[in-house]
Amino acid sequence: MKDLKDLVRPNVWNMKPYSSARDEFQGNASVFLDANENPFNRPYNRYPDPLQWELKKKIAEIKGVKRESIFLGNGSDEPIDLIIRAFCEPSIDSIVSIAPSYGMYEVAANVNNVEFRKIKLDEKFDLDTDSLLEAANDWVKVIFLCSPNNPTGNNLSRDRLYKVLNTFQGIVVIDEAYVDFSIEPSFLGELDKFPNLIVLQTMSKAWGAAGIRLGMAFASPEIIAILNKIKYPYNVNLLTQERALYMLENKEQMEKQLRSILSERIRLQAALPELNCVRKIYPTDANFILVEVTNADTIYKNLVRQGIIVRNRTNVTMCNGCLRITVGKSDENDALLEALKKM
Ligand SMILES: *Cc1c(COP(=O)(O)O)cnc(C)c1O
């Protein structure tokens, strides 16, 4: 990897972050008259911990990483945007990613006026490592990858991800939003080996908490310090921090729901290919299945008419004729199968 200083935008490297009242005093006290807060309405009258240390302690324990290697944000969308703002000089630097994949990388690149290059996956929806690395010239500061990938559902193969991590001299982001649904291990265990790696995870999928907006980025303490420097001071609100901590402390709940989703996934994988309107289903390591159907637009509309909403991906690169179907509860999946049977 290049020196971090040569990858980070100079203005970001040189700037001083906003210093809040909570940053300037640390220690024990009982009278807080420093932040212009209202003394009534506890505990919500107080600004939340800007660095969310209590929550990070629990996440560190569950994920087996150091607290200093964790960044928490308002969903994964926040670290995606901050990574671009930290490393990519608008209209000069570029990003390389894959197609098809999650749309937010490109949106965040566009917002920041950063060129976004997409390398098509191969016919097995796996990485075309050679083309990817060829596109990653000196102006490319970040490569965004997603594994298991959305909307295809599969893991990118591990040896190809290692090849990218070993070869590319800039930052490699691996978005693991769906990793808990996969039997493959997370790349969190590789953080110490690859100083250029950033792993993204989220409470939105396996944890069933998309509504609280908590995204996680894991990387070297040096990279995390850069993200902390440019984030909004109180980017994760107190309600989210409280609720997330509660959920992490009761993770048997999540594990139970995860088992149910995985067994429903197996059931859908068996039932869908039996239907007349289904041409093929793609392998999945996530909580959704990419399904090629006889007529995606018509079937999508027919499902909507019956109050069943799936994602029509027919206009996405390499997904012609495909619907992306999220694995629901047993009765929801029954309703889907019943409806599809008649199409
Ligand atoms: C759903 C999803 C996320 C989660 O985004 P949040 O902002 O954390 O809700 C991240 N990456 C991918 C690829 C996803 O599909």
State the distance from the centre of ligand 1 to the C-alpha of 150, rounded, in angstroms.
9
* Average pLDDT taken over every residue of the chain: 97
State what percent of residues in the chain have pLDDT above 90: 97
Question: Is the distance from the beta carbon of residue 161 to the nearest atom of ligand 1 less than 6 Å?
Answer: no
State the distance from the centre of ligand 1 to the C-alpha of 177, rounded, in angstroms.
6
| pTM of the model as a whole | 0.97
Distance CA 161, CA 179 (A): 15
Question: Is the distance from the beta carbon of residue 177 to the nearest atom of ligand 1 less than 6 Å?
Answer: yes
Ordered domains of the chain (ranges, CATH): 2-249 (3.40.640.10), 250-339 (3.90.1150.10)
The SS3 assignment for 255 reads helix
Stretch 249-253: mean pLDDT, rounded?
97
Nearest CA to ligand 1 atom 5: 76
Question: Is the distance from the beta carbon of residue 180 to the nearest atom of ligand 1 less than 6 Å?
Answer: no
State the distance from the centre of ligand 1 to the C-alpha of 106, rounded, in angstroms.
13
The confidence band for 21, taking pLDDT boundaries of 50, 70 and 90, is confident
Atom number of ligand 1 nearest to Cα 210: 9
Atom number of ligand 1 nearest to Cα 205: 1
Question: At residue 261, what is the residue type?
Answer: I
Stretch 265-289: mean pLDDT, rounded?
98
Angle, in degrees to the nearest 10, between helices 221-230 and 77-87: 100
Q: Is the pLDDT of residue 123 over 90?
A: yes
Question: Is the distance from the beta carbon of residue 75 to the nearest atom of ligand 1 less than 6 Å?
Answer: yes
pLDDT digits (tens, 9 = 90+) for 30-50: 999 999 999 999 999 999 999
Question: Is the distance from the beta carbon of residue 202 to the nearest atom of ligand 1 less than 6 Å?
Answer: yes
Nearest CA to ligand 1 atom 12: 177
Atom number of ligand 1 nearest to Cα 101: 13
pLDDT digits (tens, 9 = 90+) for 55-114: 999 999 999 999 999 999 999 999 999 999 999 999 999 999 999 999 999 999 999 999
Q: Would you list the DSSP string of 209-246? A: -GGG--EEEE--HHHHHHHHHHS-TT-S-HHHHHHHHH
Q: Which of 71, 82, 104 has the most ligand 1 atoms within 8 A of CB, as the residue to mutate?
A: 104
Task: Assess contact for 302 and 323: CB atoms under 8 A.
Answer: no
